[in-house]
Every structure is written in C-alpha cells, then in structure tokens.
Chains A and B, each alone.
Chain A
Amino acid sequence: MIEAHGISKTYARGVYALRDLSLLVNKGDFVFLTGPSGAGKSTLLRLLLRRDVPSEGQLIVGGRNLADLSPRQVQAYRRSLGFVFQDFKLLPTKTVLENVALVPRVLGMPFVQQQRRTFQVLKWVGLQHRMNAYPLELSGGEQQRVAIARAIVNDPVIILADEPTGNLDPDLSLEIMNLFREVNARGTTVLVATHDRELIRRVGRRAVTLNHGQIVEVA
C-alpha cells in the first residue's frame, strides 16, 4: 500500500527532515509513527498527504509515485485519504453536520446521500445528538471525534493522523484510538503519528520510531 524507498526531505540550508527512509506499510495495517519532536513524523505524513514531495527517493502509494502526480491526480489521490490533525482543523463557522458533510459535498455526492452518510458516521462516533452544534461548543474529545467522522465519511483507503490525541487526556486518547481500531478492522490502512509511547503500548500495534529523520526502531 505505502512504499517509501530511500526518501529524504531537506529544507533550507540542507537541514534533513527525513534522511534515507525506507518503509513498507501493507494494506489494512495499523502503524504508529513515533519519536521525539522534530524526528520527521509530521514530514512523512506531509509527504503522504502530497503537500510536499521528497527531495530524494520514491514514495509510492497504491502503486503510484506521488512525486509524478499532476495537480488533478493529486486531487484524486487525496480523495482516497482521510486525515486527522492534533488541532482538529474544524471550521468554527460551520456546524458539526456541515463540517462533516463538507467532504461529500465538495466531492459532488448527491445531497440526500451526503446527508445520510454524514448522519451515519456521526452516529458511529456517537455525536449524532450534537450535529447542529458548532465545534467551539464541543469538548476536545468531541471535536476530535468530529474530525474522525470527517476523515472516514468518504470511505478512505488510508487514514493519516498527526498527533490526534495530542490535546486529549489518556482516557479520551484511548477512546479515539478505539475508533481508529474499528476503522482499521474494516480494512482501512491507518497511520498514526504520536509521541505518546504509553498510548502505543496500550493499543499494541506496530510502531516505527523515528529520530533525526531516520528509522531507529520497528517494534
């Protein structure tokens, strides 16, 4: 599913965010990316979201080299992804329902279908009763559940999550991870970047540890 072949990413003044990183993630895997701040976790997710391209090496997803995609192919590729961020990235001027429905709406899904699908995923994350609330009226855990609902509403092939529990307490963090596990159980590949080793231990999945842009441990 995801193949990184010797990828490096350098920024100004030759600073390496990733250095000669190779990684294989199979379809349906659940993988944690961990390591200290600045280890390169977010950079790798950024490359996987195709917000940037590697300076060296190849990053292949679903058989396609991401660096070779045209702008329109990037759009099509991103439609196969779901993303979750630490800061939730919800739109404060839109309701929970509107935030989640934004995805099927911009992808041209018929209105009735988008409403039905949005309601289904909100029910799945247990927030159907808050669908008319605005994000700032919700707790951090609830906001992250909305973000997860938005990430899965389009039935993505891969979910990329960057420190999704960074702002949550341990119990809520585990609750969020359980949602990811459920998504993964349906066959979706999940990649979660976190520096929370305790959480990784409790969830008990494959963890790839990065440091200074390189893989230092796979457990």
Chain B
Amino acid sequence: MRALQYFFREALGSLWRARGAALLAIATIGVGLFVLGFFLLVNTNVQRVVDRWSESAEVSVFLEDAVTAEQLKSIDELVAQSRLAARREYISKQQALERFKADFPDLAPAAASTNRSPLPASFELQLRSDVREASGAVNALVASLSTMAGVADVRYDRQWLERLNAIIRGARIAGAVVVAMLAFAAAMTVANVVRLAATARRDEIEIMQLVGAPFAYVRGPFVAEGILQGGAGAILAIGALAVLFQAGRLRFELTFLSFPILIVLLLGGMAVGCLGGYVVARHVR
C-alpha cells in the first residue's frame, strides 16, 4: 500500500513537471476513447431502434383475390405446423382498406371512391421472439408460402433488417480497426511522455538502482504515470461524450452508455496508459 502511494505520488509529481507533454498524451488517449465511446453510443442507439423494429417484424402473406377457402386453410395449417408464429391474423380486403384509411386519412377519399377494396387480403404473422434470429427456418417458411396456391406475394420484414444488421456489423468492424489504431497511437504517445519522464528522472533511477531498490519500485512510478494519463484521458472522453449526448438528446430520443460500458472505457484508458508506461519501465533495470 505504501509502495502504491509512493508510485502515484512520484507519478503525479512527474506529470506536473512535464505537464505540457502529459496533457498531449491525455488528449490523445481522450480522442481515442472518445471515438470508441462515440461508436458505442451510436451502436447502442441504432441497435435499440433495430431491436424495436425487429420486435414488430412480421411476415405478410398477400393473397390472390381468387383464393379459395381450401387454399386459405392450407396456408393457415402450414403456418401453424411451422410453430414460428406467435400470432397469426387474417386481414380481409375490407379490413385492409379500413386500416389504410386509418393510417393515411389524407388518402381516404381516394380509397373510398372505388367500389371495392383495391388492397389484397393477407395473413399477418407475428414471429415468436425466440425464433427471430433463426432466419433459416423463417426463410424456409417464407419460401414454402411463396409457392403455395392462392398466395400472391410474401413480404418478410426481417430480410431488410438483416441487411441493415450486416451494414451495422461492417461499421462495427471498421470502427474497431479505427479504435485499435487510435489506442496504439495513444499508447505510443504515453510511452514517449513517460520516456521523457524517465530521462528527466535518470538520476533518481540511477540512485535507486545503486541502493538495490526492487525493480517494481524503480518501474512502478512510470507505470503509475501511464495509468494516471490513461485514466485522465478516459474521463476527458466520457465528459465530451456526455456533452455530445446532452446536445443530441435535444433532437433525438437517445440513451447514454451503460455504467458497465463507462467503467470499461475508464479501465481501457488506464490499460492503454499502463501499456505505454510499461513499455518504458521494462527497459529500466
């Protein structure tokens, strides 16, 4: 405990002496973590929207006008046997028209001008929550329904949601690469700042070596210096994200990063700083 106190007291003193360079390192870590946090913030909110859309994702089976009761029964039985639908509902042509009028009141007079409903009857299937990710089974059902007699078309909302998810996954990978590069740059900046500190403190290091101080004691302050810089950078990044979030919330419905994610950001910053400090410290023997 006393050793830790010593490490951090020495590190704080050293940071204060080289505060210009230290601020640069803190800012570099801050930018890296801000970009990471921004990605996470965007990801969290986009994912939330996509999840909400996913929950309401349906399979709509549009029927031909000439569909027979027998064909309707076959379609209903196929859906029931698949056990993929939590709810299935038959929407008649008239019900479809009523819904259209309710959804688009401006167009209601135009729809009313026709004698009969121009909209097809349909089956609307609400998928079970546990099979939403099992797209293979759902795709098979969609394919089977498409070939059935009496079916005009099958629309499956999840197909475009999957494409959206694929785009999000790609963006995540690109984001991870950018963040990794920024983390590397931040670690190297910290290493250079700590190296400056090591040069400034070479007399002290020499004396510690001559008195036979344990390696941990000689190296500890440098690692502590890196950790402090990383932690300060992370706090800076979280502060900037909070400001950005507050500004964004005025226009959009957003949620902030969860507490565990914030802790991960903080620890991540400290880990990057620690790495930079260690890169220098391990050369001190």
- Which one, A51, A107, A111, contacts B211 given CB within 8 A? A107
A63 at the interface (CB under 8 A from B): no
Once A71-B285, A111-B2 are accepted as A-B contacts, the answer to whether A102 and B207 lie under 8 Å apart by CB is yes
Q: Are A105 and B6 in contact (CB under 8 A)?
A: yes
A154 at the interface (CB under 8 A from B): yes
B213 at the interface (CB under 8 A from A): yes
Q: Are B211 and A106 in contact (CB under 8 A)?
A: yes
Chain A residues in the interface with B (C-beta under 8 A): 49, 51, 71, 74-81, 83, 89, 91, 93, 102-103, 105-108, 111, 154
CA distance A106 to B218 in the complex (A): 8
CA distance A57 to B203 in the complex (A): 31
A-B contact pairs, 8 of them (CB 8 A): A71-B285, A75-B212, A75-B215, A76-B212, A78-B211, A81-B212, A93-B13, A108-B3
Chain B residues in the interface with A (C-beta under 8 A): 2-3, 6, 13, 17, 203-204, 206-215, 217-218, 285
Specify which chain A residues have a CB less than 8 angstroms from the CB of B213 in the assembled complex. 75, 106-107
Specify which chain A residues have a CB less than 8 angstroms from the CB of B285 in the assembled complex. 71
Q: Are B210 and A83 in contact (CB under 8 A)?
A: yes
Q: Given contacts A77-B212, A91-B207, could you give 8 more A-B pairs where the C-beta distance is less than 8 Å?
A: A71-B215, A71-B285, A74-B212, A78-B209, A79-B212, A103-B211, A105-B6, A107-B213
- Which one, B13, B206, B208, contacts A106 given CB within 8 A? B208
Q: Are B6 and A78 in contact (CB under 8 A)?
A: no
- Which of B207, B211, B213 counts the most chain A CB atoms within 10 A? B211
B214 nearest CB neighbor, chain A only = A75
B249 to A: closest C-beta gap in Å: 47
Q: Are B210 and A49 in contact (CB under 8 A)?
A: yes
